[in-house]
Amino acid sequence: MRRTAAAAAIALAMLPALFPLYWMVISSLKGPEELQTVPPTWWPREPSFGAFAEVFEAVPFGTAFANSLLLSGVATVSVLVTSVLAGYVFAKHRFRGREALFWGVVATMFLPPVVTLVPLYWLVSSMDLADSYLGVLLPWLANAFGIFLMRQFISDVPDELLDAARIDGAGELRIVWRVVTPLLRPAVVSLAIFSFVFYWNNFIWPLSILQDDAKFPVVLALSQLLNYSTSVQYQNVVMAGALIASLPTIVVFLLAQRVFVASLSRTGVKG
Amino acid sequence: MAAVAFLSPAMLVIGLFTVVPIGLTFWISLHEWSMYTPLSEMSWRGLGNYTDLVGDDGFFTALGNTALYVALVVVVTLPLSVALGMLLYFPRVMGRGAARAVLFSTYVIPTVAISIVWGGLYAPDYGPLSQLFGAWDPTWLSSPDTALAALVIFHVWQMTGYYTVLVIAGLTQIPADLYEAARIDGAGFWRQTAHVTLPLLRRTTVFIGLVAIINAIQVFDPVYILTQGGPAESTSVLSFAIQRAAFQHGMAGQASAMAFTLLVLLVALGGVFLAAARRRS
């Protein structure tokens, strides 16, 4: 009885979570006339994929998609490398001021990005990098969350393992690459996913630093698409664009589901 | 040696693009600068931008909107994510894992994309929410009385799954024998919740509260996409007001004064938070 009630409550909670996603899909499949019917239809009468082609005609969406892959891909790789290296030092090396430096880095996680937006624009444009890929990327090459996460996980690696490698004559870089990183696989995968999704979705920084729409990431192209067609009859095109822009993040998330669920279920289940 | 070499890339990036800009924000806030002219054309204003802020209704509107937005988000999100976390943790029901994944998925989708979808949901006449709640004649984003609340609903929808997962992680830390003992003492579900679950979940809920405040203060994308601060400035929150002042109106000095004031307020808030946490423990 109680279990049935719980199952019903869970199902009920799923409805509002899924409905906007459902609406995005069916709106992208509707035709211009159907979009203007009041009351709205809850299932497309004549589903068509035409809007998906129109997205690419209205704005340079294909280029934007490639730009986003490039920007978030490079940022993710760089964040992984810088975070593992810095996390290793914060976890396993002793030096004066280590804790102060580490917590100083962590504190920057709480800083709203808008606080540093204007000087960041100034810094990047004074390097003559405004409106360039590199300009977008520079502040994305390392982040405090990654360093924090990696330090937490590397602290759990036993010192004996590192000492054994040292006795075998391994250098520090070799220890990080051959001993530490393989043990961190779930953490590294989680950080890769978080970073990729975070930079793919990031809007305020590219919006502020880029002018040339050939360099726009997909979220900026979406906002451009919205300006192109505010009228209801283009809603299918806008929704198709939103769907395409969301796909990589959903795919990455589904691929990572296993790691994600594993880290949750490892801690044991109670009834 | 290796330590220095390993640390420097990360420290260089964070130092140059996060720490240095904090100081620069204050420096720029003492000047008049239009963003698109060279920095040499910046002119000194002293505290002029700050005295302007004091007399600027727009700034106080944005400050008030931000405070209201953050308060509403936290007040709704915390109980909701705790309730959902308990619902998805305790009962042994098929499909719990899938349900967690569905809830979490709203968090990974680009805010810009999903804001656009919510624009469609909230649309007058053509929108499904206007249809469903037609009896109340809801105005959603089109009236100054409801627009901020509509954005809060969107934010809660987007973020609750993430906080629910944090709650579930916290629940796994509570030893099962505590529930066993409570049951032997004859405590039912509600008393177990009040005397075991909630007290032992304290650290998690405080953490979620903190993260929720930070995330809500940063809100920008849905405001930019859906309302541009309107109608009648009712959704102009600080993040949006600062970005607009700098990048749309070319008033970098004023924008930086707002940004630095926000930073000072946050540091003060953080200090109060830390002091309270320390007194408790």
Q: What distances in angstroms separate CA B31 from CA A160, B24, B45, B263, one per listed residue?
A: 56, 11, 5, 18
Q: Which residues of B touch A110 (CB under 8 A)?
A: 214, 266, 270
A248–chain B nearest CA distance, Å:
9
Residues of chain B with C-beta less than 8 angstroms from the C-beta of A40: 126-128, 131
Q: What are the structure tokens assigned to B269, written together?
A: 């808030």
pLDDT of A264 above 60: no
- Is B258:B59 a contact under the CB 8 Å cutoff? yes
Query: What is the percent of chain B where pLDDT is above 70?
Result: 100
Mean pLDDT computed over A82-101: 95
Q: Quick check: B168 and B89 in contact, CB under 8 A? A: yes
Per-residue pLDDT at B9: 96
- Chain A CB contacts of B214 under 8 Å are 110, 112
DSSP SS3 for B249: coil
Q: A6: which chain B residues are within 8 Å (Cβ-Cβ)?
A: 87, 90-91, 93
- Asked whether the beta carbons of A134 and B40 are under 8 A apart, the reply is no
Predicted pLDDT at B124: 86
d(CA B123, nearest CA chain A) in Å: 9
pLDDT at B276 > cutoff 80: yes
* DSSP summary character for residue B43: E
CB contact under 8 A, A139 and B127: no
Of these ranges, A32-36, A228-232, A240-244, the one predicted with the greatest mean pLDDT is A240-244
Is any Cβ of chain A less than 8 angstroms from the Cβ of B255? yes
Q: In degrees rounded to 5, what are phi and psi of residue A264?
A: -80, -45
Interchain contact, B9 vs A86, CB within 8 Å: yes
A259 three-state secondary structure: helix
The yes-or-no verdict on residue A161 having pLDDT over 50 is: yes
A244: tokens are: 């395409």
CA distances from A185 to A22, A177, A192, B212 (A): 34, 12, 10, 29
CA distances from B233 to B217, B247, B261 (A): 17, 18, 20
Nearest chain B residue to A106 by CA distance is: B14
| Residue B92 pLDDT class (50, 70, 90 cuts) | confident
> A115 and B25 in contact by Cβ < 8 A?
yes
B175 min Cα distance to partner chain A (Å)? 9
A118 with B92: Cβ contact below 8 A: no
Q: Which of A38, A144, A270 sits opposite B125 (nearest CB)?
A: A38
| CA distance linking residue B58 with residue B78, whole number of Å | 30
Statement: residue A268 has pLDDT above 70? no
B175 Cβ under 8 Å from any chain A Cβ: no
pLDDT for res B130: 86
Total H helices, total E strands in chain B: 15, 2
A176 — pLDDT class (breaks 50, 70, 90): very high
Alpha-carbon gap, residue B251 to B34, rounded angstroms? 5
Q: Sign of torsion, CA B67 B72 B75 B76?
A: negative
| Average confidence score pLDDT of chain B | 92
Evaluate if residue A164 carries a pLDDT over 60.
yes
Distances in Å between the Cα of A49 and the Cα atoms of A29, A53, A107, A229 are 6, 7, 47, 18
Q: Is the pLDDT of residue A1 over 70?
A: no
Closest approach of chain A CAs to the CA of B10, in angstroms? Answer: 5
Model ipTM value: 0.93
Using CA atoms, how far apart are residues A215 and A236, in angstroms rounded to an integer?
A: 25
Inter-chain residue contact A138 with B25, CB threshold 8 Å: no
Please answer yes or no on whether A116 and B84 come within 8 Å at the CB atom: no
Asked if the Cβ–Cβ distance from B39 to A144 is below 8 Å, we say no
Contact: B262, A39; criterion CB under 8 Å: no
Q: Is A149 exposed, middle or buried, given 0-12, 13-18 or 19+ CB atoms closer than 10 A? A: buried
pLDDT at residue A121 in the model: 94
For B44, the enclosing helix (H) or strand (E) is strand B43-44
In the numeric block, which tokens belong to residue B68? Answer: 């209201």
Q: Residue written as tokens 């979009």?
A: A35
B272/A contact by beta carbon, under 8 A: no
- Distance (Å, rounded) from C-alpha B250 to C-alpha B102? 42
A270 band by pLDDT with thresholds 50, 70 and 90 = very low
pLDDT band at A265 (very low <50, low <70, confident <90, very high): very low
Question: Closest Cα to residue A217, out of A17, A63, A28, A45?
Answer: A63
Poorest-pLDDT segment among A135-139, B148-152, B198-202: B198-202
Judge whether residue B126 has pLDDT over 90.
Answer: no
Checking if the pLDDT of A266 tops 80, the result is no
The arithmetic mean of pLDDT across residues B143-154, rounded, is 96
Question: B196-245: per-residue pLDDT in tens?
Answer: 999 999 988 988 998 999 999 999 999 999 999 989 999 999 999 999 99
CB B229 within 8 Å of CB B236: yes
Q: How far apart are CA A77 and CA A95, in angstroms?
A: 28
The sign of the CA dihedral B260, B266, B267, B272 is positive
Distance in angstroms between the alpha carbons of the first and the last residue of chain A? 15
DSSP character for A41? P
Model pLDDT, residue B266: 93
Q: At what angle do helices B20-29 and A117-126 cross, to 10 degrees?
A: 100
Q: Which of B28, B106, B239 sits opposite A114 (nearest CB)?
A: B239
Q: Is B31 helix (H, G, I), strand (E, B) or coil?
A: strand
Residue whose pair of structure tokens reads 């040339």 in the numeric block: A212
Q: Are A145 and A194 in contact (CB under 8 A)?
A: yes
> Rounded to the nearest 5 degrees, what angle is found at the Cα of B169, between the Cα atoms of B164 and B174?
120
Do residues A61 and A184 make contact, with C-beta atoms less than 8 angstroms apart?
no
CA distance A9 to chain B (A): 8
Q: Which residue of B has its CA nearest to A105?
A: B14
Cβ within 8 Å of residue B233, ≥6 positions away: B58, B61, B62, B65, B144
Q: Is A160 exposed, middle or buried (0-12, 13-18, 19+ CB in 10 A)?
A: exposed
Q: Which pLDDT band, with edges at 50, 70 and 90, does B280 fall under?
A: confident
